[in-house]
Amino acid sequence: MVHATLLLASTRPTWPDILVFAAAAAVILVGAVGVVTSRNPVHAALSLVMTLFGVAVLFIEQEADFLAAVQIIVYAGAIVVLFLFVIMFLGVDRAEDINVEPLVGQRPLAFVFSAITLGGVLAMAATAHWVTGARQVVGPIEGHVAGPNSPAGEPAQLGKQLFTTYLFAFEATAALLVIAVVGAVVLARRPPTVHADQEDTSDSELSA
Amino acid sequence: MSLSGAWYLGLAAIVFTIGAIGLLVRRNVLIMFMCIELMLNAANLTFVTFARMLHDIGGQAVVFFVLVVAAAEVVVGLGIVVTNFRRRATTVADDLDSLKG
């Protein structure tokens, strides 16, 4: 059992580390607020890219170099591009009036409940007596081959764990991706137009 | 050595809250999806922080799976948005009220 006080006590951070964290945190928070407050969906997507870059910087700062690269490639490179593609494809890149409140009283309630959640999480993190389990349940972050002069063996270690301990989950995610691709193709496919009149009736029934 | 994990966990909690507020407040389905991505990223940051604090590669492996699930979710979700846009010509969640009694 490892307690929070023991976990949080680390060696003294250096000034570059503090500066990197402060800059990345500022980028992340500005981007996150930008996603929520942008009136234009394209601006929201670009703010999301900003947040994702900041998170990638914090990944590097925490010795997760491989995940930082994956974060940039998959999130910023694929997911946000998919968002932008859909926004432009649908032509919904117009500014939206976010001052109207369709459900009266919903926004204050959303803020109140989110503030309660945030306060609860922070209070729990600060005061609770954590029992976070044993160290190194799966494996250390550094590989055995990583010496002081060799680069950290973190990607190799991660790959080893993915293909041994997490092999079943890894195969399941492969199946999940295939299912998602097939589902997207089925969803995006237009129904075959055999007869024009049949198409009309089915359309009117569905939209009625 | 980088900062203690508490700073990262606090930042992740704040980002998660911003995402939750956005999901509750915004009406555009696409922006609601982006807020879900924000919340997933906050969770990822927490996982990486705990991986460093506990010196356990398992946290980073979980982040890998979260990335894959997020990608699958976005693909299917945006497919549904496109399909729905063809019928209703809207991406506003309030307009999708055809099940209303």
- Put simply, the answer to whether B51 touches A141 (Cβ < 8 Å) is yes
pLDDT at A152: 53
- Put simply, the answer to whether B9 touches A125 (Cβ < 8 Å) is yes
One-letter amino acid of A197: D
Query: Shortest Cα distance from A77 to chain B (angstroms)?
Result: 11
Q: Which residues of B touch A71 (CB under 8 A)?
A: 44, 67
What is the helix (H) or strand (E) element at residue A149, kind and residue range? none
Q: What is the CATH number of the domain that holds B19?
A: 1.10.287.3510
Determine the average pLDDT of the residues in A196-204: 51
Between B70 and A97, the higher pLDDT residue: B70
CA terminus-to-terminus distance, chain B:
59
Between A142 and A25, the higher pLDDT residue: A25
Q: Could you give the CA distance from residue A193 to residue A77 in angstroms, rounded to a whole number?
A: 35
Structure tokens at A155: 């990607």
B50: phi > 0 → left, psi -120 to 50 → alpha, else beta; which? alpha
| Residue A36 and residue B25 in contact, taking contact as beta carbons nearer than 8 Å | yes
Structure tokens at B38: 């924000």
Whether residue A58 lies within 8 A of chain B, CB to CB, comes out as: yes
- Put simply, the answer to whether B10 touches A125 (Cβ < 8 Å) is yes
What is the helix (H) or strand (E) element at residue A135, kind and residue range? none
Q: Which residues of B touch A87 (CB under 8 A)?
A: 30
pLDDT at A168: 93
In this prediction, residue A153 has a pLDDT band, given cuts at 50, 70 and 90, of low
A193 contact partners, CB below 8 Å, separation of at least 6: A199
Query: Shortest Cα distance from B36 to chain A (angstroms)?
Result: 11
- Put simply, the answer to whether B56 touches A188 (Cβ < 8 Å) is no
- Put simply, the answer to whether A32 touches B25 (Cβ < 8 Å) is no
Q: Which residues of A touch B21 (CB under 8 A)?
A: 36, 110-111, 114
Partner A, chain B 38-57, Cβ-Cβ below 8 Å: 38, 41, 44-45, 48-57
pLDDT at B46: 92
Whether residue B93 lies within 8 A of chain A, CB to CB, comes out as: no
CA terminus-to-terminus distance, chain A:
61
Nearest to B55 among A140, A169, A207 (CB): A140
Average pLDDT taken over every residue of chain A: 79
Is residue A70 over pLDDT 80? yes
pLDDT at A156: 83
ipTM reported for the complex, 2 dp? 0.91
Q: How far is CA B8 from the centre of its chain?
A: 18
What is the helix (H) or strand (E) element at residue A73, kind and residue range? none
Per-residue three-class SS string for B10-29 = HHHHHHHHHHHHHHHHCCEH
Domains: count for chain B:
1
Whether residue A23 lies within 8 A of chain B, CB to CB, comes out as: no
Q: Which domain holds residue B87?
A: 5-99
Number of A–B residue contacts, CB under 8 Å: 248
C-alpha distances in Å from residue A197, one per residue of A126, A190, A205: 66, 16, 13
Determine the average pLDDT of the residues in B10-24: 93
Is the pTM for the entire model greater than 0.95?
no
pLDDT at A195: 60
Paired strand residues for B92: B28
Between B98 and A89, the higher pLDDT residue: A89
Q: Which of B1, B16, B27, B34 to mutate to test the interface with A (most CBs of A within 10 A)?
A: B34
| Residue A55 and residue B44 in contact, taking contact as beta carbons nearer than 8 Å | yes
Q: Which residues of A touch B82 (CB under 8 A)?
A: 86, 89-90, 187-188
Strands, E assignment, A29-115: none
In this prediction, residue B84 has a pLDDT band, given cuts at 50, 70 and 90, of confident
Q: Which residues of B touch A20 (CB under 8 A)?
A: 2
